[in-house]
Structure 1
Amino acid sequence: MSRDEHASESAAADADDQRLVLPDELRHELKGPMGPIETDADVLLEDVSGPLIAVGDVVTYHILQAGRHPDVALVDERTKRQTVDEEIREVVTDATHLEAENPPAEISADVVDALLEGLEREEPTTILVDGEEDLVALPAILAAPEGASVVYGQPDEGMVHVTVTDDVREDVRTLLEQFEGDATWLWAALDA
């Protein structure tokens, strides 16, 4: 094996170590909303007073249509495992600033790093995720400052608005500790 092949294999092993995988037995716990559900973005935005993180193409689209740019938006050009309409895709990816890989039903170090970079930026940042962005709402809740809003889609119901508090963070940490994989890298990245 050449040195380059060994380095590549080592990097792949590191990437595998730096991801969390949603176990099948935990899927039911994530089906319920973690906050109130709203169908009108204007009404939802009335309750947003701090930074806003939007997770999902349709959620981001509705927030943008209501005149607010999320501080961080994570999109993957899909909704309910189908490609989003061209209008939604164009609107939500118009100002893509970062890209990250995140396989379905996982949370990768790559997407967490992009999320943290987006939160540090002064200007609104859109992250285009190659894979799936659904579970990134969980590390977003841990990374966001107290009082921030994380908004994600609840299929066929509306937008879930989570106001970040210590209690919500504790609930999310408990959930993430049940994921498959070693979360040490995540806690280190989030200083949690």
Structure 2
Amino acid sequence: MRGELKEPMGPIFTDAERLLAAAGDGPLVAVGDVVTYHLERAGVAPDVAVVDGLTKREEVEDRVAEGVARLGGESREVRVENPAGAVSGELARELKAAIADPEPTVLVVSGEEDLATLPAIVAAPLGASVVYGQPDEGMVLADVTDEAKAEVRDLLSRMDGDSDALFEILDAA
């Protein structure tokens, strides 16, 4: 499934201001330290940021870590465990709660946040925007639509693990 996951789920932007102008009116979810940093630099605090201190499996640069830390100082911070190449129940629960919370939230992942885009699209309301990094290309803007949710559900259902339990968490009111 690596090939499917490498295909961007929306347009790629290299400029945060242009991305923000194209984003929907719903909640803004940022997945990744570098994406979160660029949004923060553009003066926007995402409603939810999911970070792990890494980019391309290496520690982020100090300026990125400092930008994320500035954002964290203005938001509720929640720490979660999530192993590489997986979506833990804990990540799914906290992501769902963070999206529903009117207070901005930074989810700090111990492990890896690379797949957090998928449950974010399922959990977010229609009209939301999920932004994630496309390595060496820019930031992908994934609009949360019925079609996007269906595509992501299909991807998740074909992954190893208990997708029914994951959907139960993400669909809970």
Structure 2 length-normalised TM = 0.93
The question of 1:163 aligning with 2:138 is answered no
The question of 1:82 aligning with 2:62 is answered no
Cα distance, 1:71 vs. partner?
Answer: 0.3
Structure 2 residues not aligned, in runs of 5+:
none
**Identical-residue share of aligned pairs (%):** 53
- Radius of gyration: which is bigger? 1
- Where does residue 187 of structure 1 map in the other structure? 167
Q: 1:131 to 1:190 in 2, by over 3 A?
A: same
Cα distance, 1:28 vs. partner?
Answer: 1.3
Whole-angstrom distance in 2 between the partners of 1:146 and 1:42: 22
Structure 1 length-normalised TM = 0.84
- Where does residue 172 of structure 1 map in the other structure? 152
- Structure 1 stretches of at least 4 aligned residues deviating more than 4 Å after TM superposition: none
Kept in 2, the 8 Å contact 1:93–1:126? The answer is: no
Cα distance, 1:120 vs. partner?
Answer: 2.0
Select the residue among 144, 149, 152 that pairs with 2:132: 152
- Where does residue 136 of structure 1 map in the other structure? 116
Kept in 1, the 8 Å contact 2:41–2:67? The answer is: no
- Where does residue 115 of structure 1 map in the other structure? 95
Cα distance, 1:93 vs. partner?
Answer: 3.1
Structure 1 residues not aligned, in runs of 5+:
1-25
- Where does residue 18 of structure 1 map in the other structure? none
Alignment partner of 1:106: what SS?
A: coil
Whole-angstrom distance in 1 between the partners of 2:170 and 2:100: 13
Cα distance, 1:91 vs. partner?
Answer: 1.8
